[in-house]
Amino acid sequence: MVIKVLGSGCANCKKLEENTRKAVEALGIDATIEKVTDFKDIMAYGVMKTPALVVDGKVKIMGRVPSPDEIKKYL
């Protein structure tokens, strides 16, 4: 599973990455978590608001920071 956190590196982006890591750890799944900060790469996903969470190439959440429990639903 490939999980991408899209964002500029702001506080919300860092919080989304932290919550994503907690969710992956809690589920005990094998996943790669990547940070995407390049604006062109973010736009390629059609994301207009960051932070955003992409799981296996599909945008699951954008424009907010979900809790680790909510992220588990998308994994």
> Which is the catalytic residue, given 10, 26, 43, 44?
10
- At residue 7, the pLDDT reads 95
Tally of domains within the chain: 1
- At residue 38, the pLDDT reads 95
Nearest to 66 by CA among 48, 53, 57, 54: 53
Backbone dihedral angles phi then psi of residue 40, each to the nearest 5 degrees:
-65, -40
> Which is the catalytic residue, given 3, 5, 6, 13?
13
Q: What's the gap between Cα 25 and its chain centre?
A: 14
Q: What is the CATH number of the domain that holds 27?
A: 3.40.30.10
- At residue 69, the pLDDT reads 97
- At residue 24, the pLDDT reads 98
Measured at the alpha carbon of residue 50, what is the angle toward residues 2 and 10, in degrees to the nearest 5?
95
- For residue 57, the enclosing domain spans 2-74
Is 10 marked active-site? Answer: yes
Nearest to 4 by CA among 30, 40, 49, 42: 42
What digits encode the pLDDT tens for the residues 16-66? 999 999 999 999 999 999 999 999 999 999 999 999 999 999 999 999 999
